[in-house]
Amino acid sequence: MTSKNNEDLDLKAIRARLEKARGRHYWRSLEELAATEGFEDWLHREFPRQASEWPEGEAGDAGRRQFLKLMGASLALAGLSACTRQPTELIVPYVRPAEEIIPGKPLFFATAMPLSGVATGLLVESHMGRPTKVEGNALHPASLGATDVYTQASPLGLWDPDRSQAITHLGEIGSWANLQGALSQSLSTQQARQGAGLRILTESFTSPTMTGQMEEILALFPAAKWVQYEPAGFGMQREGSRAAFGEPVNTYYSLENANVILALDSDFLCLGPAGIRYARQFANRRVVRGPKAEMNRLYSVESSYTITGAKADHRLPVRASEVEGIARSLNEALDGQAPSGPHAGWIAALARDLQANRGASVVIPGTWQSAAVHAIAHQINQKLGNTGRTVFHTDPIESGDSSEAGLRELTAEMEAGQVEVLAIAGVNPVYTAPADLNFAQRLNRVPLRIHLSLYQDETSALCHWHIPQSHYLESWSDARAFDGTVTIMQPLIEPLFGGRSAHEFLAAFTAQPQRSGYDIVRGYWQKRRPQNFEMWWRRALHDGVVEGTALPAKAASPRAPASAASPAPAAEGMEVVFRPDPSVYDGRFANNGWLQELPKPIDKLTWGNAALIGAGTAQRLNLQNEDLVSLHYKGRTVTAPVWIQPGHANESVTVHLGYGRERAGRVGSGVGFNAYALRTSDAPWMGTGLEIRKLPGKFPLAITQQHHNLEGRHIVQSATLQEYRENPDFAHEGVHNPPPELSLYPPFTYDSYAWGMAIDMTACTGCNACVVACHSENNIPVVGKQGVLMGREMHWLRIDTYHEGHLDNPHTHFQPMLCQHCEMAPCEVVCPVAATTHSAEGLNEMTYNRCVGTRYCSNNCPYKVRRFNFFNYADYAEVQRLGMNPDVTIRTRGVMEKCTYCVQRINEARIEAKREDRRIRDGDIETACQTACPARAIVFGDINDPNSRVSQLKKNELNYGVLAELNTRPRTTYLAELKNPNPEIEKA
Amino acid sequence: MDIEQEAQRPSTEDVPARQRPPVIEPGHTFASVTDKISAIVLTRGLRWGWVIGFGAAFLLTMALLFSIAYLVAVGIGIWGVNVPVGWGFAIVNFVWWIGIGHAGTLISAILLLLRQSWRNSINRFAEAMTLFAVACAGLYPILHLGRPWLAYWLFPYPNTMSLWPQFRSPLIWDVFAVSTYATISLLFWYVGLIPDLATLRDRAEHRFAKSFYGILAMGWRGSARHWEQYEMASLLLAGLATPLVVSVHTVVSFDFAISIIPGWHATVFPPYFVAGAIYSGFAMVMTLAIPLRKMYGLEDFITLRHLQNMAKIMLATGLIVAYGYMIETFMAWYSANEYERFMIWNRMTGPYRPFYWSLMLCNVVTPQLLWLGKVRSSVPALFVIAIIVNIGMWLERFVIVITSLHRDFLPSSWGMYWPTIWDWSTFIGTIGLFLALLFLFIRFLPMISIFEMRLLLPGADAKEKP
Amino acid sequence: MTKKPIYGLMAEFESPAALVEAARKTTQAGYRNFDAYSPYPIEELHEAMEHRRGYLPLIVLIGGIVGGLSGYLLQYWVSVINYPLNIGGRPLHSMPAFIPVTFEMTILAAGIAAVLGMLAVNGLPMPYHPVFNVPRFALASRSRFFLCIESADPRFEHHETARFLESLAPREVSEVAH
């Protein structure tokens, strides 16, 4: 104990010194925030808003130089002098072979990003060997060419200067050789005892290679145990399928064939291994072109408001613990029993709708709903004959159970002193383990603790050895997608900080401890693909998918769950619901500035989490937004700010995991509160018996959108499918649309190209992928919590969220808002120095070098899409500069910036077209937001070309311009949002 | 010497008691007027009052310099501005100061053309006040830039990249209007000073003072030819300055009226801005004149008559401003434009409503007291009202700039603006600068136009027989 | 011509009326090179001395026209010829938008012309002038009125002129050295 304390103290001291050493910096200001925004501080601060300048306040040049020295040192340490090197092994680019590197021409490499072990296929853009941007891999079933926020934000994680940069032993820099020495001794003793004292703790994984290694190691040490733990894993699914089929089964859906979808507390459009695919399929069945077209219908039953709930035609807000009851009565209703209870009518109508769409409907249980709900869902899908049509079962893709059970067992053994060597790869259990396991103090009973991770995190601090892990863009590996399809992950760059992949780390426990990741992965597959392997290997790397690896669908028929007869009574008292955060997931992305500053889809909350409650609960407890409360649950307490979420179920509190990190890095440490501190292993996702006590004072939450009320303005046009059919032109009613010729001025003609964009709000799910993609593509800086509080966030593209209707269950509309590139741009006229002007192709262009920063353009922009550099936000660390997109200028202080329609991509395509002596074809240019969008809601192109997709969309009667009455003639237009409610429920 | 004795006073006792107070108290001669005013500069030494006043003002000026240094070093972010409220204190104060800077030229130009002889005793320091106010105002548009060191890009100067200002932008009009106004006011003021500088030159004992004023006087000797050209020039300048005064605040109002923001985009702005400028200008003249005449015992020259006339002008312009507010509200309703209507409603009931209502109190309600003769002839009352109007006019600009911006078209982009300590320090700093310059002026230059005072004397008429 | 021993003769008066009277008589007596000095402008003097109106207004007019033209032409040349740009879809020659600058330029140039013109016509700045050699002339900027007949005048003859000045009942007559 005491020894641990001392060590802890030392580390703290070192850390403190290091952080002091940093001068004014991008990171500095964020770190400042992380350090000073503790609510204590806030309660004592008189004028929070006046604190803004202090971060830059003690700008010390000495400090800066010191910082650069340190940074230089760390880079030297990483064996990284001026530029970066591609891996020595042959990696296969997506379009043309690597020997063809042309300066200024990016190459694309196929790889995949595993999250909770499951892969999303990617194409990574590499500039001179520096990965800067990820795009989706169209060949990959989970991506279909699109991406989500986590994949988009991952390059920033690669270039994060806070990543751990050296092997440490008790805080001292050590070497791989030392570690091997230490390890080989204890391994030899383990060998003698069949490895009875050896435990390996990893994340959940689907990697065949890793599975191979696991078998290898367990063969060497038969008595050893391999534990997997995934804080936001799929334990419930697994358990549910076991309950339903008697064996763990992997289930996925094909929404393409579903007319009616029921989401049982499932956020399938956002989170989950196939979220991107589902969003695409959902949109394909939702988007209508012409009044004839049909549209799918989505029902959602959920406690806290998710984007899936927002897209639903009927959303039923109930406490998470009541979802099971609803599922049961639906199940019974399908058998003909009339449902009872408050939602009887709703359920009956739903049941009829499902019955009417047998084989063309699907019931999706929430990943984190109880096993029973999963089992019931399986039954219903079976009953409706959906299996094989919209629902598919395969063998599990993950290599084992990663639920809390395994971890509980492990901690018990640690307590009992049976664990002598504990190797932790990737996981951060000290932070993520359920509170009741008190993992931290039990960990100290293990004689040898080795930890592999990207950061010197909470767990590293308590381990003897820490090994820097290589980022997925730095390492060889492989992983399966939701349907089992394998991707062989190739690195784009040598490990910046000399990290090791999990494979290389675990090799240390095998017979060949020195094998490189490349040899391990390649070796694994070589065994299985003997005939013309080279060809196969190259093809696999090139495509980013290994064909024929999707697992075969298996016919599994669910048996009635044991407890079906007795519906679990919804427990009394306030309920607490734990969910992974839509921005930082389970906390692993806590040090990612883009994700920290990413407004959460519904609440637009950045830089932290809050206890989300419904309006009714707020009234009952007399709570206001930003009030501080203490949450008491099972004898544990955390302090949290309250946020009232319209449409959140009452008597239920949602807390997002992933915040309150202590050792995340300078961005993530100390942001938000730690919800893991309440979470117990027996009820990891929800439980009742929560008590809320109001504390004095408030904690300011950085919200990017305060007003979600349309004020009766015709900004978002929406209607039901029925209304649309009756009145196809509804989108142009209620506002004055001046005809283009209505102008005192002679028109400017755009005769070459005329770029324009159309955004379909029916398709848009508000998932934020485009926002992060824009961040990544355009080198958009992060301003920190203080900046957001002062209304200075820099997002070129934001997603406006408007609520309408009843406070307890409002409709929610998403409207991506970016520069509209008005032909009669109000911003240009008022610029005194002609820094913003119109291009011959109708782009509204910012000339950063000419801008003096009057901010008049921003004032005069009715859409308020212009962003201003109030400070020198782009003051990046050396290593971060390597991650910038070289095609986009980095803006200095005092300059206005905004969406450019990705002009760099336009020019790229123009050069290509010129070289081939042709016009730019439709689809040659795809903006960053467009490529990222899972739902293909954004279409960009030449509106002079009548056949381009964008022109087609602009011809659609749903197409309208926001604030068209101002006659700004926006080039960005929107397609009105359509919903398809069930008339039966509408009436009720 | 003998000149002093034979200052025998022509009797002016025949002025009836019930008449409105005279523009110059009886019993003065050319000599006494000259001596009394020039003495303030020449014979009286440093006064404690002056030292303390100037000292305080100087310290505030230093605060201003510090704020500016920090601003340039760190960035505009130290202020409270953001998106949507891109303009904050800087522009509010800019318009406020420019407004104040309107009284001087107005008094010296328009009232000269109207042959309002009572102006003679107040125009000098009113003009000085104008210059200093414009100087303070001029700082803000430069400081509020994201990159202040590039402010010169707003001027049309030939450059290799043939980049020019964008002449459709009201900010460019501002540059021309304000710099023209500053130049013309300075010239007008200086021309007005020449004869008095000559007086000081001829009366200064100290060698340094003699040569100082001598150089500034440029060899003026008051010959008939001089006076003839001089009169002509002042008339022409007055004729030019009159439309100029009107144009300046009109152009300033264009900064808002040309935009499309509800609450800015209004055709009533030019007239109502000009009226507001005169309003605040006279309020400031009053605020300064009342203590000054007391301190330097100039009640004889700046009489109750002057204060009353200024009070009447304030009342009149105040009513025009009130009409402006009324029309704004009316148009919002009459236009049937949802954004305009919301804008007014938001001003009255939104988060910034205290500003709006106290603005109404200061600018519309309070000045109505000036209808009462009693109030008009009570110096303390006038002083208080003048100060209230100054505050009111500042509030007006705050309401126009901030409450229009903070909630415009898309509710999603609505935000709030609050000033930071740096906004305040800069604002108070410019007040310091203004006062410091004023103190220097009254110490080193005649604060009342001596030769024009001579014209007011009973003996000044050349027709009456000697 | 040979230089006269003195600059001229100067008479001092106590009232504006006396000065005007004296000026009228002097003019009638045929003197041309003389000037009257007063602590404030006296309109009567002008016609008493039979001055013609100056051409200052013309200077100002020209100044104004030049300023205005250059202002407008600059804007036109810049935005239509030298560097045409599509600014918010507005025409290159945005005539109404060019008016304010044109106006301000007119006033500026005219104003400067007025001041410089006035100084030029008055021959200011003038570092030295003989009249200041008369000690009591210091009062010309305070309370007294002076009339000085210059020796440059063809009809100037020392005794004659002195006697003539005495006849105007001045407070005193003094010689003005060069």
Q: What is the DSSP string of A274-335?
A: THHHHHHHHHHHH--SSTT----EEEEEESS--HHHHH-SEEEE--GGGHHHHHHHHHHHHT
Report the residue from A827, A831, A837 with minimal CB separation from C86. Answer: A837
Phi then psi for B403, rounded to 5 degrees?
-70, -20
Closest by alpha carbon to A377, among A312, A331, A428? A331
- Going from the C-alpha of A742 to that of each of A250, A967, A968, C115, the distances in angstroms are 60, 9, 12, 49
Instruction: Using alpha carbons only, give the angle A57, A58, A64 rounded to the nearest 5 degrees.
Output: 120
Q: How far is CA B258 from the centre of its chain?
A: 25
Report the residue from C85, C89, C91 with minimal CB separation from A834. Answer: C85
Q: Chains touching chain B at 3 or more Cβ pairs under 8 angstroms? A: A, C
Residue numbers in C near A838 (CB within 8 A):
85-89
The answer to whether B147 contacts chain A (CB < 8 Å) is yes
pLDDT of A400 reads: 86
Phi then psi for A874, rounded to 5 degrees?
-85, 35
CB contact under 8 A, A828 and C88: yes
CB contact under 8 A, B173 and C104: yes
pLDDT in tens, B333-374: 998 889 999 999 999 999 999 999 999 999 999 999 999 989
pLDDT of A856 reads: 95
The answer to whether B151 contacts chain A (CB < 8 Å) is yes
Q: Which helix (H) or strand (E) holds C27?
A: helix C16-28
Determine the Cα–Cα distance for residues A329 and C2; give it in Å rounded to an integer. 130
CB contact under 8 A, B168 and C97: yes
State the smallest CA–CA distance between residue C75 and chain A in angstroms.
13
CB contact under 8 A, C89 and A823: yes
The answer to whether C90 contacts chain A (CB < 8 Å) is yes
Return the amino acid letter for A238: R
Instruction: Using alpha carbons only, give the angle A949, A951, A955 rounded to the nearest 5 degrees.
Output: 115
The answer to whether B150 contacts chain A (CB < 8 Å) is yes
Across residues B427-447, what is the average pLDDT?
A: 93
- Going from the C-alpha of B285 to that of each of A593, B22, B51, B443, the distances in angstroms are 54, 19, 22, 18
Interface confidence, given as ipTM, is 0.91
CB contact under 8 A, C88 and A829: yes
Q: Tokens 């988060």 identify what position?
A: B351
Closest by alpha carbon to B182, among B94, B278, B105? B105
Q: Tokens 């027709």 identify what position?
A: B463
- Going from the C-alpha of B92 to that of each of A58, A811, B106, B328, B343, the distances in angstroms are 29, 40, 22, 19, 18
Helix B170-203, helix B224-257: angle, nearest 10: 150
Whether A887 shows a pLDDT value over 90: the answer reads yes
A824 to chain B: nearest residue by CA? B260
The residue that leads in pLDDT, C148 or A55, is C148
Report the residue from A52, A895, A963 with minimal CB separation from B77. Answer: A52
Residue numbers in A near C90 (CB within 8 A):
745, 829
pLDDT of B21 reads: 73
The answer to whether B258 contacts chain A (CB < 8 Å) is yes
Whether B148 shows a pLDDT value over 90: the answer reads yes
B226, B231, B255, best to mutate vs chain C, most C CBs in 10 Å: B226
Cβ-based neighbours of A939, under 8 Å, separated by 6 or more: A757, A758, A759, A760, A930, A949, A950, A953
pLDDT in tens, A765-782: 999 999 999 999 999 999
CB contact under 8 A, C42 and B187: no
Does residue A647 come out as left (phi exceeding 0), alpha (psi in the -120 to 50 range) or beta?
left
The two structure tokens encoding residue B32: 């006494």
Asked if the peptide bond before residue A468 counts as cis, ω within 30 degrees of 0, the response is: no
Report the residue from B198, B229, B247 with minimal CB separation from C104. Answer: B247
C129 to chain B: nearest residue by CA? B219
Cβ-based neighbours of A174, under 8 Å, separated by 6 or more: A166, A167, A168, A465
B338 to chain A: nearest residue by CA? A713
Whether B7 shows a pLDDT value over 60: the answer reads no
Residue numbers in C near A834 (CB within 8 A):
85, 87
Report the residue from C40, C85, C127 with minimal CB separation from B454. Answer: C40
3-state helix, strand, coil in chain A (%, to 5): 35, 20, 45
Across residues C47-69, what is the average pLDDT?
A: 89
Cβ-based neighbours of B267, under 8 Å, separated by 6 or more: B257
Mean pLDDT lowest among A19-33, A859-873, C100-114: A19-33
Across residues A105-119, what is the average pLDDT?
A: 91
The answer to whether A831 contacts chain B (CB < 8 Å) is yes
Report the first-to-last Cα separation within chain B, whole angstroms.
23
How many A×C Cβ pairs under 8 Å? 34
Cβ-based neighbours of B18, under 8 Å, separated by 6 or more: none
Helix B379-398, helix B304-334: angle, nearest 10: 30
CB contact under 8 A, A833 and B165: yes
B contact residues 168-207, partner A, Cβ 8 Å cutoff: 168-172, 175
pLDDT in tens, B198-216: 999 988 888 888 899 999 9
DSSP string, A153-217: HHHHHHT-TTS--S-EETTEE--HHHHHHHHHHHHHHHHHTTTTTEEEEE-----HHHHHHHHHH
Across residues A314-330, what is the average pLDDT?
A: 93
Predicted confidence band of residue B173 (pLDDT cuts 50, 70, 90): very high
A825 to chain C: nearest residue by CA? C88
The answer to whether B247 contacts chain A (CB < 8 Å) is no
Across residues A849-866, what is the average pLDDT?
A: 95
The residue that leads in pLDDT, A75 or A656, is A656
Residue numbers in C near B183 (CB within 8 A):
108, 111-112
Closest by alpha carbon to A795, among A804, A803, A783? A783
The answer to whether A830 contacts chain B (CB < 8 Å) is yes
CB contact under 8 A, B226 and C20: no
CB contact under 8 A, A824 and C89: yes
Spatial strand order of the sheet with A130-136 comes to A107-115, A118-127, A130-136
Contact by Cβ (8 Å): A146, A928: no
State the smallest CA–CA distance between residue A663 and chain B in angstroms.
30
Asked if the peptide bond before residue C125 counts as cis, ω within 30 degrees of 0, the response is: yes
Whether A565 shows a pLDDT value over 70: the answer reads no
Q: Chains touching chain A at 3 or more Cβ pairs under 8 angstroms? A: B, C
Predicted confidence band of residue B459 (pLDDT cuts 50, 70, 90): confident
The residue that leads in pLDDT, A146 or A5, is A146
CB contact under 8 A, B147 and A792: no
Average pLDDT, chain A: 87
CB contact under 8 A, C114 and B233: yes
CB contact under 8 A, B259 and A859: yes
The two structure tokens encoding residue A146: 């699109």
State the smallest CA–CA distance between residue C85 and chain A in angstroms.
7
CB contact under 8 A, B80 and A863: no
pLDDT in tens, B48-60: 888 999 999 999 9
pLDDT of A95 reads: 52
Residue numbers in C near A832 (CB within 8 A):
none
CB contact under 8 A, B153 and A802: no
CB contact under 8 A, C90 and A837: no
Cβ-based neighbours of C87, under 8 Å, separated by 6 or more: A828, A829, A831, A834, A837, A838, B166, B168
